[in-house]
Amino acid sequence: MRALTAPIFMICVAAATSAAARDLPLAIPVDCTLGDSCFIQQYVDHDNGPGAHDFTCGPLSYDGHKGTDFGLPSFAAMRAGVDVLAAAPGTVAGTRDELPDTGWSPEFEGKDCGNGVVIDHGGGWQTQYCHMKRGSITVEPGQRVAMNTVLGKIGFSGRTQFPHLHLSVRQDGKVVDPFDPDGQITCDMVDDSPLWSATLDYMPGGLLSAGFADAVPAYDAIKDGTAHAGTLPASTDAVVLWGYAFGAKAGDTIRLVIESPDGTRFFSHDAAVADAKAQLFRAAGKRLRSPMASGSYRGEVTLIRAGRVIDQMQTQLRVD
């Protein structure tokens, strides 16, 4: 359960007037709820040198990144299936559908996009959809598609470290950032005329999931979406609360709080983030010398930056 989301930079599109925005209005290319069942992990890199920053001068990019990454919180979500949608009407220019969902391997050199689709929209505009699930592509070259046509599903193919859709937007072969199509945003601006036909909130980082366990879980289990223990016996030797975050910065704090069934504080811990991380988890808990009281325990995980709450999630544990 997500208790609070605190975006600090909003893109306002009601009065989009740029030529680019009129030429190619874009729908969100994934069938999920941003900030809940999916999130934006990375944006187009706006740093012309060896560094990287996104269109807000924030850290959610990496050197040379040429698209927008719509991520899923777990591999379990990928296995359940999340549709990739055409962001604008056009003609399918190319597809690839045979690479396995195994992430990157040297044998895939030259196929960084993995499985994907390219759509031509006319006027020099193209969109490219990467890292899709093998066998999921539903369109073929030459086919006309409408906005929101299902193209396939989010996968884990190509050069990727987590399940997501990488969307690239190009005009005449040049990368266009749909959040800043004219390249006019400066760090202190709070709105512009992006290509998106809906309002998207910029989150400078956030929480992907939270859960309980009887020991510090393996990172692979957290990424897979199978780490949470919804119930534990009263005789358990330990109880641990964990939180999985993205876009953390050096100096951030991940606060972990457990409340007992009677509402009193059972445990709390502030976990420091020493270095910026695209994704990370923190976990803490206590060993038990006597049985736990039966009932429902509430876990609360909070991502804090410079004294400000960036995001917060809650989770439940039943002790029998």
| Burial of residue 262, with CB atoms counted within 10 A of its CB: 0-12 exposed, 13-18 middle, 19 or more buried | exposed
Residue ranges per domain, the chain?
8-198, 206-319
How high is the pLDDT of residue 290? 95
What is the SS3 assignment for 74? Answer: coil
- What is the pTM (predicted TM-score) of this model? 0.89
What is the SS3 assignment for 79? Answer: helix
- All residues at 6 or more sequence positions from 167 whose CB lies less than 8 Å from its CB, including other chains: 29, 67, 68, 69, 70, 87, 127, 128, 129, 130, 178
User: How many angstroms separate the Cα of 221 from the Cα of each of 74, 98, 247, 276, 297?
Assistant: 9, 27, 20, 22, 22
- All residues at 6 or more sequence positions from 174 whose CB lies less than 8 Å from its CB, including other chains: none
The CATH label, of 2.70.70.10, 3.40.47.10, 1.10.10.10, 3.10.450.50, for the domain at 8-198 is 2.70.70.10
Residue numbers of the chain with a pLDDT score lower than 50:
1, 3-22
Residue 140's Cβ-side half-sphere holds a number of Cα atoms within 13 Å equal to 0
> Which architecture does CATH list for 206-319?
Sandwich (2.60)
Q: Are 60 and 123 in contact (CB under 8 A)?
A: no
The answer to whether the 8-198 and 206-319 domains have the same CATH topology is: no
How high is the pLDDT of residue 12? 34
How many Å apart are CA 136 and CA 97, to the nearest integer? Answer: 7
How high is the pLDDT of residue 187? 73
How high is the pLDDT of residue 1? 45
How high is the pLDDT of residue 191? 52
Q: What are the tens digits of pLDDT across the range 104-144?
A: 988 889 999 999 999 999 999 999 999 999 999 999 999 99
